[in-house]
């Protein structure tokens, strides 16, 4: 029954094609498409899910399923635990949307070539919910295991507990309304957490610590956010790396706010890059161990201090490189013990309500810094040593601090914070045109990109602070093209699925919105959405559509609009017109 419809679609498409080259390509592909229609009929419209099956079987779990079923898409299993009991190395389990009131224990192991994957199906949103249960939601004691797109909420103990495991990946999940968020314990190593959001937790968002067992090591946190702790009376951490001999952790693009301490780091050889800790009740960054580096990081609006070098009984080195520390209530940076060394370059300390840079003990032999900018709302207390030797902004500008410390020979003083940043009111620390931070830094150890990922340097020299100043580099550009594997700036006329892209050439974030309509045998269908694009970046979306239909894609951003029209035949998108205003 598909062939008459296919023949009708073929005639309609070929009648509208303007280019013979496209005609010949589509004619050759069409017979292949007919053979694939039964496979495509099982798929849906929407964004492609970015995880592919490599080896092993594929199984499905759904709230309407039954554990006596074979676990296929049409006859799925009912419980995630049953799937965990049945799979082997290399298998993939897709979890359909719905609520699963069950505790899940993962003990089966994959291997280096065959991970076990538990993933939400397409863009559906399954939730492992503990409202009618007690304890921990998901326990992982495994190796080579991936857990993707599955939320874990409403557990009286821990959302996800990972013990004695290795090569674990947790991606695109939310964990909320729990006592503990995610706990990594007892020697767990070589793990990756990416695109996680944790909120409404009581004692911590994410914690990696021995917990009475072996030390954890080799962990990576990418674009994770912890926020909105549920009990303000608790010493609650957003991210915590517990004491012991833990080491080798990386945080990239992570954020913590509305907790007691944002990042409580007690593991050596740890790097935080392009991270943000703000509006924490106590400190943004609490740094205990040796060889901890913050680069392109932001700390602002925190209750006591933006960055704190805590004393753990042994010497340690902390490096702050191209960071912004702004508007802490007591200390922008607080060094508790003179045996911990602080190395600070290309950093901005500004807007502190009390003291900018505070040394608890009467020694600065542990301080090494230069090419920094000092500002303080209390101009008389820009730097304090043991609360007795204090330096005003005027003292620093005249060289008094350099003579005293033998550091900061090339550092600068700012008397007007509004001249530094685009908007302190909106916590926008991009550099304002004419800012003294522009081209004033040192290239020594400077990162190759800034907080936004913009390459450094953009001018004659490296800028001071987390952001590199960029002059306007062109206008907003809009792209609509066929082919889900196309580059965002390509505008192919035909391909499987389609992509939309926006390049933002402005010095501010802009919003993009899209609207897509399909006319399937006279019936209108549509999808829409929006996203933000930071300055000087290109972002977009990719879609795969299964239908015989006309298609019209509308894209708007930065005051510009673009429309493309065409046809869809079993996933093949063919654009025939393009308009731009």
How do residues 136-166 score in pLDDT, each as one tens digit? 999 999 999 999 999 999 999 999 999 999 9
Residue pair 210/241 in contact (Cβ under 8 Å)? The answer is no
Residue 125 has pLDDT above 70, yes or no: yes
DSSP string, 366-411: TEEEES-EE--SSGGGSEEETTTEEE-HHHHHTTHHHHHHS--TT-
Of 503, 515, 499, 526, the closest CA to residue 554 belongs to: 515
Beta-strand ranges (E) seen in 253-315 are 255-257, 261-265, 268-273, 276-278, 283-287, 292-295, 298-300, 305-309
The reported pLDDT for the residue numbered 29 is: 44
Other residues' Cβ atoms within 10 Å of the Cβ of residue 24: 11
Q: How confident is the model at residue 581 (pLDDT cuts 50, 70, 90)?
A: low
Residue 420 has pLDDT above 90, yes or no: yes
The reported pLDDT for the residue numbered 55 is: 66
Residue 10 has pLDDT above 60, yes or no: no
The reported pLDDT for the residue numbered 419 is: 96
Work out the angle at residue 356's Cα, subtended by the Cα atoms of residues 350 and 358, and round it to the nearest 5 degrees: 155
Which residue is it, tokens 């912890």?
226
Length of the chain: 581
The predicted-structure confidence for 340-353, as pLDDT tens digits, reads as follows 999 999 999 999 88
Mean pLDDT score of the chain, rounded to an integer?
Answer: 88
Which 3-state string (H, E, C) describes 209-226? Answer: ECCCCCCCEEEEEECCEE
Work out the angle at residue 297's Cα, subtended by the Cα atoms of residues 292 and 300, and round it to the nearest 5 degrees: 115
The reported pLDDT for the residue numbered 472 is: 66
Q: Report, as an integer, the average pLDDT of 423-445.
A: 95
Q: Which is more confidently placed, 27 or 277?
A: 277
The reported pLDDT for the residue numbered 535 is: 78
The reported pLDDT for the residue numbered 504 is: 87
Beta-strand ranges (E) seen in 433-571 are 477-482, 494-496, 498-504, 510-520, 523-533, 537-544, 548-557, 560-569
Which 3-state string (H, E, C) describes 175-203? Answer: EEEEEEEEEEECCCEEEEEECCEEEEEEE
The reported pLDDT for the residue numbered 437 is: 98
Residue 569 has pLDDT above 90, yes or no: no
Range from 174-178, 245-249, 381-385, 468-472 carrying the lowest mean pLDDT: 468-472
Q: Which is more confidently placed, 581 or 26?
A: 581
Q: Which is more confidently placed, 214 or 520?
A: 214
The reported pLDDT for the residue numbered 305 is: 98
Residue 190 has pLDDT above 80, yes or no: yes
Exposed/middle/buried for residue 74 (C-beta within 10 Å: 0-12, 13-18, 19+): exposed
Q: How confident is the model at residue 580 (pLDDT cuts 50, 70, 90)?
A: low
Of 161, 249, 154, the closest CA to residue 202 belongs to: 154
Range from 168-172, 334-338, 452-456 carrying the lowest mean pLDDT: 452-456
Range from 82-86, 273-277, 427-431, 477-481 carrying the lowest mean pLDDT: 477-481
The reported pLDDT for the residue numbered 36 is: 39
Model pTM above 0.95: no
Q: How confident is the model at residue 578 (pLDDT cuts 50, 70, 90)?
A: low
Of 426, 389, 387, 394, the closest CA to residue 404 belongs to: 389
Q: Report, as an integer, the average pLDDT of 404-422.
A: 97
Residue 50 has pLDDT above 50, yes or no: no
Residue 126 has pLDDT above 50, yes or no: yes
Residue 516 has pLDDT above 50, yes or no: yes
The predicted-structure confidence for 68-82, as pLDDT tens digits, reads as follows 999 999 999 999 999
Which residue is it, tokens 């009648």?
15
The reported pLDDT for the residue numbered 83 is: 98
Nearest-angstrom CA–CA distance, 259 and 280: 5
Q: Report, as an integer, the average pLDDT of 525-544.
A: 85
Q: Report, as an integer, the average pLDDT of 509-521.
A: 87
Residue 209 is encoded by which pair of tokens? 């610590």
Q: Which is more confidently placed, 323 or 470?
A: 323
């Amino acid at each position: 029954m598909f062939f008459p419809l296919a023949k009708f679609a073929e005639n309609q498409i070929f009648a509208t094609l303007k280019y013979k080259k496209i005609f010949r390509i589509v004619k050759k592909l069409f017979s292949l498409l007919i053979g694939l229609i039964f496979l495509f009929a099982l798929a849906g419209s929407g964004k492609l899910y970015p995880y592919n099956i490599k080896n092993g079987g594929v199984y499905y779990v759904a709230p309407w399923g039954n554990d006596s079923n074979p676990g296929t898409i049409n006859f799925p299993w009912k419980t995630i635990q049953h799937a965990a009991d049945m799979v082997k190395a290399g298998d993939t389990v897709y979890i359909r949307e719905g609520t699963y009131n069950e505790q899940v224990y993962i003990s089966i192991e994959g291997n280096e070539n065959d991970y076990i994957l538990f993933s939400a199906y397409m863009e559906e949103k399954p939730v492992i919910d503990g409202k009618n249960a007690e304890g921990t939601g998901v326990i992982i004691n495994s190796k080579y295991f991936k857990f993707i797109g599955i939320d874990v909420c409403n557990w009286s103990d821990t959302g996800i507990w990972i013990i004695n495991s290795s090569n674990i990946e947790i991606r695109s999940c939310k964990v909320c309304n729990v006592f503990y968020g995610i706990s990594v314990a007892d020697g767990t190593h070589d793990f990756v957490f990416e695109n996680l959001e944790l909120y409404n937790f009581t004692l911590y968002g994410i914690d990696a610590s021995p917990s009475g067992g072996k030390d954890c090591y080799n962990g990576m946190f990418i674009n994770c956010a912890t926020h909105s702790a549920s009990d303000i009376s608790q010493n609650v951490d957003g991210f915590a790396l517990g004491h012991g001999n833990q080491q080798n952790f990386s945080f990239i693009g992570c954020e913590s706010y509305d907790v007691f301490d944002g990042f409580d780091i007690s593991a050596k050889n740890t790097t935080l890059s392009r991270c943000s800790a703000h509006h924490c009740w106590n400190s943004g960054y609490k740094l205990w161990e040796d060889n901890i580096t913050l680069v392109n990081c932001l700390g602002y609006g925190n209750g006591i201090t933006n960055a704190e070098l805590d004393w753990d009984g042994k010497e340690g080195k902390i490096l702050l490189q191209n960071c912004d520390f702004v508007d802490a209530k007591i200390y922008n940076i607080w060094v508790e013990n003179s045996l911990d060394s602080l190395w600070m370059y290309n950093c901005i300390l500004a807007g502190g309500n009390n003291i900018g840079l505070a040394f608890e003990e009467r020694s600065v032999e542990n301080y090494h810094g230069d090419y920094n900018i000092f500002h303080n709302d209390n101009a008389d207390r820009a730097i304090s040593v043991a609360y007795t030797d204090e330096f005003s902004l005027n003292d620093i500008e005249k060289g008094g601090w350099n003579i005293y410390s033998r550091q900061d020979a090339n550092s600068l003083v700012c008397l007007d914070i509004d001249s530094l940043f685009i908007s302190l009111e909106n916590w926008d620390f991009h550099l304002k045109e004419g800012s003294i931070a522009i081209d004033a830094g040192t290239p020594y150890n400077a990162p190759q990109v800034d907080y936004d990922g913009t390459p450094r340097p953009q001018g004659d020299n490296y800028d001071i602070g987390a952001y590199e100043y960029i002059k306007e580099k062109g206008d907003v550009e809009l792209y609509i093209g066929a082919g889900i594997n196309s580059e965002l700036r390509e505008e192919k006329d035909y391909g499987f699925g389609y992509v939309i892209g926006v390049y933002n050439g402005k010095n501010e974030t802009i919003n993009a919105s899209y609207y897509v309509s399909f006319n399937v045998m006279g019936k209108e269908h549509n999808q829409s959405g929006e996203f933000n694009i930071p300055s000087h970046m290109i972002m977009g979306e990719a879609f795969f559509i299964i239908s015989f239909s006309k298609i019209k894609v509308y894209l708007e951003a930065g005051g510009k609009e673009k429309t493309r029209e065409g046809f869809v035949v079993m996933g093949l998108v063919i654009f025939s017109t393009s308009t731009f205003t």
